[in-house]
Amino acid sequence: MSLDDLPTQLPQAAGAEPETMVRRVDRPSPLRDKVTRAEELRLQLADEIVRGVLPPGSALDETDIARRFSVSRTPVREALRQLVASGLVEARAHRGAVVAQPSLDRLTEMFEAMAELEALCAGLAAERMPPGDRQKLEAIHEELRVLSHAGNPERFHEVNERFHNAIYAGSQNSYIAEMTLATRVRVQPFRRAQFRNLGRLAKSHAEHDRVVVAIMRGDKAGAAAAMRAHIELVRGEYELYAVSV
C-alpha cells in the first residue's frame, strides 16, 4: 500500500453519501480537468509553501497572485480561504494573508504532536509492514545514504518525503496515516529548512538508520522511540537554522 492510495476524507456517518475525496495538499492533483481554478491555485500555492519557495511570513497579496496566474481575484480569495483553513496561511487584520509563522511555543506543540504521530506509525510499521514494503523502505533508505554524501538538500528532502510516506503506509492504518500527513503539511516548511544546516543530511540518515533497523527487526517500541528521537532532533535543527538566518 502506498500513501498516495490512502483516502484523505474523514469517515462518514452510517448511511451517509460519501463525499468527494480531499486531495493531498502537498502535491498537484493528477485530475486537473476535474478541479476548480480555486483548487488548482490552492494546490500550487500549498506546494510552494511546503517546498520553501514561499517561506513563513511571506505576504500573499490577492492582486499579485491573480496577476501572476492570470485569473480574477475570486478564485484567489477562495484558494487563500482554503489555505487558512488548512493552517498553512494566516489571515491577519490590516495585513491580509501571510504564510503561517507560528510562535515558538506553537511550533514546539506542532513538533511534539508530529513526533508522537510519527512514532506511532513507525511502531505499527514494525509490526505490520509487509515484507515487500520493507524491502522498498530499505531501498529508499539506501538512496538517502547516497544523497547524504551528494550534499543536495532539495533532492534529499524529496526522497525523505518518500521515506516517511512509506512508514506512514506501513502502519496499515489509513486514518492514523492521514492525521500524520496532515500534521506534517503544517510543519513542512520548518522541517525542510533544517536540511540547510551543515552536516544535517548525514545526521538525518543516521537517525533514519535506527528507525529502519528497528522496523526490520519487528521492534515496535524501538522503532517508535527512534522515530520520536528523530523528530525531536529535527525540531532542534530547525531552531539552530532559525537563529542563523
Angle at the Cα of 105 from the Cα atoms of 99 and 107, rounded to 5 degrees:
45
Q: What whole-number distance in Å separates Cα of residue 194 and Cα of residue 241?
A: 6
The x, y and z cell numbers of residue 229, run together, are: 528521537
pLDDT at residue 14 above 50? Answer: no
Number of other residues whose CB lies within 10 A of the CB of residue 88: 24
pLDDT at residue 176 above 50? Answer: yes
Rounded (10°) angle between helices 153-170 and 200-217: 20
CB-based contact 159:147 (threshold 8 Å): yes
Residue 188 pLDDT level (bands cut at 50, 70, 90): confident
Residue 2 pLDDT level (bands cut at 50, 70, 90): very low
Share of the chain above pLDDT 70, in %: 84
Q: What pLDDT is attached to residue 245?
A: 58
Global pTM reads 0.72
